[in-house]
C-alpha cells in the first residue's frame, strides 16, 4: 500500500510514516505507523481504507473528557484500542482546541486569547517533555509500536497535529530519521488541512462575527516555533534527545532496538 491508497476525506492530515529514510539508510516500512486525527469524522467511503490497512492497534492520546464530546471513532475489524491520555487540565489550550474543532462557545477563553494562543501552544510543547501524563503516554505508545503484534498501528489525538506530532517526532528520532526530515513531516499538517481550516474559521465567523481570527489560527496550525519549544525543553532538561528517551521516557535499549528492528526495512 502507498500513502495515496489510504487518503481519507474525514482525516485529511492522516499519513503513513513509511518511506522516510532512517538509521543506516534504511527506510521506515510502509503501512506500519499511521498518524491521524480522531477518527470520528470518517466517511463511509473512508472505511474500506482502514479495512485494507488491517489495523492491529489504535492508540488514542485524548483525555476521556475530549472523547466524551467528540464523535465516536469509526473503526473496522477489531483492533486493540489503547487510551493513553496526554492531557493537562491546567492548560486551557487543550480544551480550547477541542472547543474550536467542535464549534463550541469560546467566550470562556477570552483570557487565553488575550495572553496569546501562539505562546500557549509553545508552552504545551514544553509540557510534552516534562508533564507526567505526557511522559507516561508517549513512552507507552513507543513500547506499543515496538511490539510487532501491534502493527499496523494508528495513533491520534484530537486534531492529529500536536500530541500526535510530538509522538511522531519521538518515533522518527528513534528510527534515525534526520531532524530536517522530521520537521518537514511535522509541517506538512498545514498544507493538508488548509481547506479544513478555512471551513472551521468561516463557520466560527458566522457564529461570532467579532471573532479574532489571529487568536484562533495558532491552535489550528502547526508552527516551527512550537517544535523548537519542544526541542529546546529536551535540551534544557535532558541535555540531548537520547537523554530524554532514556531518562524522561524511561525507554530501554531493548525497546529502542525492537522499534528499529520492526519498523525499518
Q: How many helices (H) and strands (E) does the chain have?
A: 13, 5
CATH of 15-263, one of 3.40.50.11030, 3.90.190.10, 3.40.50.150, 1.10.3720.10: 3.90.190.10
Rg of the Cα trace of the chain? 18
Specify the residue for cell string 529502542. 256
Burial class (CB in 10 A: 0-12, 13-18, 19+), 201: middle
Catalytic residue status for 57: no
Long-range contacts of 182-189 (CB under 8 A, 24+ apart): 183/224, 183/227, 185/15, 185/17, 185/20, 186/222, 186/227, 187/222, 187/224, 188/13, 188/15, 189/13, 189/160, 189/161, 189/165, 189/221, 189/222
Task: Give pTM, 2 decimals.
Answer: 0.93
C-alpha span between 162 and 158 (Å, rounded): 9
Q: 10 Å Cβ neighbour count for 224?
A: 10
Write the CB contacts of 248 (distance below 8 Å, at least 6 apart in sequence): 129, 130, 135, 234, 237, 238
* Per-residue confidence in pLDDT tens, the chain, 265 aa: 455 557 899 999 999 999 999 999 999 999 999 999 999 999 999 999 999 999 999 999 999 988 998 999 999 999 999 999 999 988 877 777 677 767 777 776 777 766 678 998 999 999 999 999 999 999 999 999 999 999 999 999 999 999 999 999 999 999 999 999 999 999 999 999 999 888 888 887 787 777 778 878 888 899 999 999 999 999 999 999 999 999 999 999 999 999 999 999 9
Residue 91's closest CA among 49, 135, 127? 127
Q: Where are the domains of the chain?
A: 15-263
CA separation, residue 220 to residues 67, 121, 166, 216 (Å): 19, 10, 15, 7
Determine the pLDDT at residue 4: 54
Contact 221, 192 (CB under 8 A): no
Whether a cis peptide bond, with omega within 30° of 0, leads into 103 is no
- Cell, residue 14: 492522516
Catalytic residue among 28, 124, 144, 157: 157
Amino acid at each position: 500500500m502507498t500513502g495515496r491508497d489510504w487518503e481519507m476525506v474525514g482525516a485529511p492530515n492522516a499519513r503513513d510514516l513509511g518511506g522516510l529514510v532512517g538509521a543506516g539508510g534504511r527506510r521506515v516500512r510502509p503501512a506500519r505507523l499511521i498518524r491521524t486525527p480522531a477518527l470520528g469524522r470518517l466517511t463511509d467511503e473512508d472505511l474500506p481504507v482502514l479495512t485494507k490497512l488491517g489495523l492491529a492497534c489504535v492508540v488514542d492520546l485524548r483525555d476521556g473528557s475530549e472523547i466524551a464530546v467528540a464523535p465516536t471513532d469509526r473503526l473496522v475489524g477489531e483492533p486493540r484500542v489503547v487510551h493513553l491520555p496526554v492531557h493537562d487540565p491546567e492548560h486551557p489550550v487543550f480544551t480550547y482546541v477541542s472547543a474550536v474543532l467542535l464549534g463550541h462557545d469560546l467566550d470562556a477563553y477570552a483570557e487565553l486569547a488575550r495572553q496569546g494562543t501562539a505562546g500557549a501552544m509553545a508552552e504545551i510543547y514544553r509540557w510534552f517533555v516534562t508533564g507526567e501524563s505526557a511522559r507516561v503516554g508517549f513512552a507507552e505508545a513507543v513500547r506499543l509500536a515496538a511490539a510487532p503484534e501491534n502493527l499496523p498501528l494508528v495513533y491520534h489525538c484530537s486534531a492529529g497535529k500536536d500530541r500526535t506530532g510530538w509522538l511522531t517526532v519521538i518515533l522518527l528520532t528513534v528510527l534515525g530519521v534526520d531532524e530536517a526530515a522530521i520537521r518537514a513531516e511535522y509541517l506538512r499538517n498545514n498544507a493538508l488541512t488548509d481547506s479544513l481550516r478555512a471551513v472551521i474559521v468561516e463557520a466560527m465567523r458566522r457564529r461570532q462575527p467579532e471573532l479574532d481570527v489571529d487568536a484562533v489560527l495558532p491552535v489550528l496550525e502547526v508552527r516551527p516555533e512550537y517544535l523548537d519549544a519542544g526541542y529546546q525543553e529536551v535540551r534544557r532538561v535532558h541535555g540531548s534527545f537520547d537523554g530524554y528517551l532514556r531518562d524522561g521516557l524511561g525507554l530501554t535499549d531493548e525497546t529502542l532496538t525492537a522499534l528499529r528492528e520492526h519498523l525499518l526495512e
